[in-house]
Structures are given as C-alpha cells and as structure tokens.
A and B are shown apart, each in its own frame.
Chain A
Amino acid sequence: MSKLEKAYNELDKMELVSSENSSVHALDPRSKILVTSVYLCLMLSLPLVRLSELLLFFVFPILTAAMAGIPYGFLFKRSLVVLPFALLIGVFNPIFDRETLFYVGSVPVSKGWVTFSSILVRGLLSVQGALLLILTSGFYNVCKGMEQMKVPALFTNQLLFVYRYVFVLIQESIRLSWARDSRSFGKKGHGVKVWSMMIGQLLIRTFERANRIHLSMKSRGFQGSLRMLGHFEWHRSDSLFLFCWCTFFLVIRIFPVSESLLASFRWF
C-alpha cells in the first residue's frame, strides 16, 4: 500500500473512532484541550533524569483510553512513529554522558542511558496525549472548541477546510499515483520531470476546484466565515475531569512520588 493510501485509511479509522460514544467522548472538547495542554507542559518540564516520575505520566493515556473504550494498543501502535526521530537525537546521550547514576544489582547505569530512555518515553507520551484528544473529540469538535476559546475564526475555518479537502485531494493523488505507476517501469517515469507535471496538474485542478467551491459557497450565502452548528455547554463533569487530572499531573511533577511509593513498598 502506498503512503497515500495508508494516510487515507488512518484518517478514516480515526474519524470512526472519534465518532463513538463514551463518557470521555461526551466531555466538552475545551476541557480535553486544557487537560492535554497541562499534561504536555508539565510532562515536558520534568528533568530528563527523573525517568521514574515520567513513567507515572503513562497513567493518563492508559486510563483515559480505557474510559473512552479505545484499546490502548491502538494508541500505542500509532505513537511508535515518533521513535525513529527521537532515537536519532537521543542515541548520542549514552556516548557522551557516562556518569554513573545508579546500580541495578552490580551493573552501573549511566546518566546517558537514563536520559536516552527519557527522550523516547517523552516522545511516546506526548504523541499519545495528542492522539487521545483527537480520538475522543473529533477534529470538528476540537476546532469548534478552539473557536469558543477565542481562537480566530479565520484560522479554525482554515483548519476545517484543509481537513475536509485532505480526503478529496488524497483520493485524487492516489488516482494520479496509480496512473503513474501503471505507465512506468522500474525507476523509469518516477523522475522529477514526470513528477513536476503531475504536481502541476494537481495544482491546476486544485485551483479550479477552489473556484467551483467558492462559487457554490457564495450561492449558498457564504460571507467569509463558516457557521458552526450548536454550542458547547460546560458541565460539572468537565470541571471534575479538568480538576482531577491537573491535580494528578501537578502532584507527580512536584513531589518525588515514585521514591515514596518505593519506600512504602519496602515498609510493607
């Protein structure tokens, strides 16, 4: 399957998941946007050496996914795409930073290895947080929520337009790609020359499509801004969701929770 087809299937799948019903899906997207932002800020402000506290941040995606009825494996598999880039940057840490931090049995573990693992965990956690937001709210609701949070309507409209036409243009690109593949052999026909004509064609068609869309929108009364249906109401459950998670993130960010947990285990 080509990259385009994969992307199309992914978008389709995510759209399906986001339209399901659950207690998390029913929350106001604004509370989910706020929780995701606090989660990312506090998680990324944690020093790299505090790997044990960082691992506690996994509680959020695991628990929220369970509450939303999304299999955690679905989320985890999608978050793995971030690993290659994080690996590329983090791989130098074990080489440069050889100061021993602690011992596992008699094996010394250097600071470099701990920070390296932290970079990978941070990558996974941040992607899972962002994916959860979109999988439990849907893009339309996130944009609507952002508009109610005073993000300029011009920008949220732009996001919605792009999202809508991504589906259409990916399908068109898949057809172009098939046409090129069926007319070329090996590497022949995949050079810049054919590519530029293909992209140019796509661009001209895109412009013509934009013109048609504009005319049809104008004939339906478009005056420069999209009108969204409905209005989100903030409920007690939204406040509770926001309060509980923010308190949890603050506690694991500020206090060395994992050390106290370990100590209490020893005590038992």
Chain B
Amino acid sequence: MHMSDALVSSPVAAVMGVVSVSLLVLSLHKIKKANDENVVPLMGVMGAFVFAAQMLNFTIPGTGSSGHIVGGILLSAMLGPWAAYVTLASVLVIQALFFADGGLLALGCNLFNMGVLSCLVAYPLAYRPLAGEGGSSFRLSLAAVLACLLGLEMGAFMVTAETEMSGVTALPFGSFLLFMMPIHVLIGIMEGVATAAVLVFMRRYKPDLLDSCKPVSGQHKVSKKVLLVIAGVALLFGGVFSWYASSDPDGLEWSIAKIVKDGEVSSEPEMVKNMADRIQRNTAFLPDYGFAVGENGGLTEEEMEATSSSLSDSKTGTSVAGITGGVIVLLLVYLIGLLFRNRMRDKSV
C-alpha cells in the first residue's frame, strides 16, 4: 500500500501533505497535553517493534504465500490513537528514507492512507465501540478484523483516488477500483486475523498493556473536536474531490450499459423496469451526484449536454452532492455508534 513518488503529482501530494501534517501536529499537541513522559520512550520502542514485526512473516494456510502486519490497529490498541499515529508516521518516514518504501513527497498520502485512516478513523469508529471495555476474546478479534478491514479498504480507495487525481495512470477509475478493493478485502482479513491473534495473546498474558482493558480515561474518548476535524476532512473530500470524479459511468454502470446496448437483457419485463426507474427517480436525492432538475427529476440526454457546458453550475451541483453524501454517511456512522453506546450502557446497568 506504500505509494511511491512516481504515482503522485505535486498538487495531490501537497493537499494530502497539508491534511496529514495538520493531523500529526494535532496528535503531537494531544500527546504533549497529556504530559505523560513515559509515552515518549514507549512510542520510540514501539515504532521499532512495528518496523521489525512487519518483516516477520507467517504462512497463510492453503495459499503458500505469507502475510505480515501493518500495525495501525495494534498500535492504537496499545498506545491510544494519537500516539499510534505519531509512531506509525515515524516508521513511515524511516521506511521512505532508507528502504524506498513509499516516496518522500508521497509521504502525506501514505500517512493519510495508512496512519490517519486506521488509527484516527477505523480505530475510534470501529474498534473501540466493538471491542468495548474488557470484552471477550471473540469480541476483541471481531473488532480487530473489522477495524483492519475498514482501515485497509478506505486506504485502498484513497490510493486509487490519489493516483487517478494525479493523472498518472490511464486505467479508468472504476476498473482500478475493481482491481484494488477485492485484493484489499483479503489483505484486510489477513491483517485483522494476525492483529487479533496478537491482541488475544496480549489479553491473556499482559492485559494491563491493552488500551481497551484499561479503565476509560478522558484522553481516549472521541471528543467533539475530533468529530469536527473528521467532519471537516470529509467535507473537504466530498466537496473538492468530487469535482474530479469521472463523469464517465463507473465500471458496473458501464458494463450494464454495454450489456443493455447489446440487447442481451431484453427479457426483463418493461413494466418492472419502468417501475424501478420511477422509484429510483422519486427517491434519488442526488441523481448521478448532482441536483435533481425539473419535476420528473433527472435530465434527458440533450439537456444533459446543454447543462454540461455551464461547468461552474455543474461543479456546484457535484460539490453539494459530495458534501451532502459525506454528511449522510457521517450521520449514519454516528447513529451506529449511538446504538453501540446505548447497548453498552444497558449492559453495564
């Protein structure tokens, strides 16, 4: 997943650099504020641990290939998300400088894809609520697998998006994504199983070292500020990057369009198709990621061509669609989080 400098253009590297470095500064500030001087040597040695552990492989049964850990979720479970992000960042800097694992200019992208998404997004949103306080081994494992999977899938998506926005590859976005996402589901599950195995071992022999087995302290709770930062980043991505989203149909739409054009799916009853179309038109809030236009929603082909010339309008539409999409996803995630919290509260009562 380490992106080389060859795959990014300077503007993309700059945007990602600003986002990742700001979050790094915020993390450093948080660590400093916590004023735990023990954490500095601990972070240093843990960074070296991740570095060494990444090179110790295990065999994946039935395949003959081998796997290792990236370590974002494991580090977060040990040190808490902020210190874990700083630790992972230092490992990535050393890997880039000495082993050409990821480029120096692409460091911002790599920090975001591997550090921010796993330590600051997947860990607080997936691992913490699922693992709970002092949960069972099964719960710990499930949380680890899901959090690793979520982190890696988001990372793979971002690698694709960043490479496409840099204009390096001629491979269409949809096909690239179809190539990246399934591979990373497998890698994510493997990483999750490996992380879970280490966490279960730690839970048995040194439970005091696990963050989730300690009593909750204020600094590990997801504060409102963090939520605001994540919301801000999501808005930025939804708003700015959706301009660059391809106007061509995605892989699935494209393949379906091709099949329909070939007349192979003519057996589908017209009535059902029309009904489905009508339902979608009435419910789709942002058809094709733009505003719905007119009473019927959607546009005819000619109208589409006419409107595409007024670029600024369509850009506003796409941005608003991106931002609204981001807000809806955030709300959903928040609701799921609330459900978990309520369940946990019920249990503790």
Interface residues of chain A, those whose CB is within 8 Å of chain B, are 3-4, 7, 10-11, 14, 36-37, 40-41, 44-45, 48, 78-79, 81-82, 85-86, 89-90, 92-93, 95-97, 112, 115, 119-120, 122-123, 126-127, 129-131, 133-134, 139, 142, 152, 154-155, 157-166, 168-170, 172-173, 176-177, 187, 190-200, 202-204, 206-207, 209-210, 213-214, 217, 222-224
B98 touches A79 (CB 8 A): no
Chain A contacts of B97 at CB under 8 A? 130-131, 133-134, 139, 142
Interface residues of chain B, those whose CB is within 8 Å of chain A, are 2, 4-11, 13, 24-25, 28, 31-32, 37-38, 40-49, 51-53, 55-59, 61, 66, 69, 78, 86-87, 89-91, 93-94, 96-100, 103-105, 163, 167-172, 193-194, 197-198, 200-202, 205-206, 209
B170 touches A112 (CB 8 A): yes
**A79-B100, A161-B44, A200-B201 are contacts. A166–B59 as well, Cβ < 8 Å?**
no
Contact for A206 among B40, B46, B98, B169, CB less than 8 A = B46
B91 touches A162 (CB 8 A): yes
B56 touches A200 (CB 8 A): no
B44 touches A82 (CB 8 A): no
Q: How far is the CA of A36 from the CA of B98 in the complex (A)?
A: 15
Residue of B nearest to A184 (CB): B59
Main secondary structure of the interface of B (DSSP, over half): helix
Chain A contacts of B193 at CB under 8 A? 192
Residue of A nearest to B166 (CB): A44
A166 touches B48 (CB 8 A): yes
Q: How far is the CA of A60 from the CA of B66 in the complex (A)?
A: 38
Chain A contacts of B13 at CB under 8 A? 44
Q: Which 7 A-B pairs have the closest CB atoms?
A: A161-B44, A196-B197, A126-B5, A165-B48, A195-B58, A123-B6, A200-B201
Chain A contacts of B171 at CB under 8 A? 89, 92-93, 96
Q: How far is the CA of A36 from the CA of B105 in the complex (A)?
A: 10
**A78-B100, A115-B170 are contacts. A197–B201 as well, Cβ < 8 Å?**
yes
A127 touches B100 (CB 8 A): yes
B56 touches A199 (CB 8 A): yes
The smallest C-beta distance from A166 to any residue of chain B, in angstroms, reads: 5
Chain A contacts of B205 at CB under 8 A? 200, 204
Q: How far is the CA of A123 from the CA of B3 in the complex (A)?
A: 10
Q: How far is the CA of A129 from the CA of B4 in the complex (A)?
A: 13
**A11-B98, A40-B105, A210-B45 are contacts. A3–B55 as well, Cβ < 8 Å?**
yes
A96 touches B170 (CB 8 A): yes
Q: How far is the CA of A194 from the CA of B59 in the complex (A)?
A: 10
Chain A contacts of B4 at CB under 8 A? 82, 85-86, 123, 126-127
A202 touches B91 (CB 8 A): no
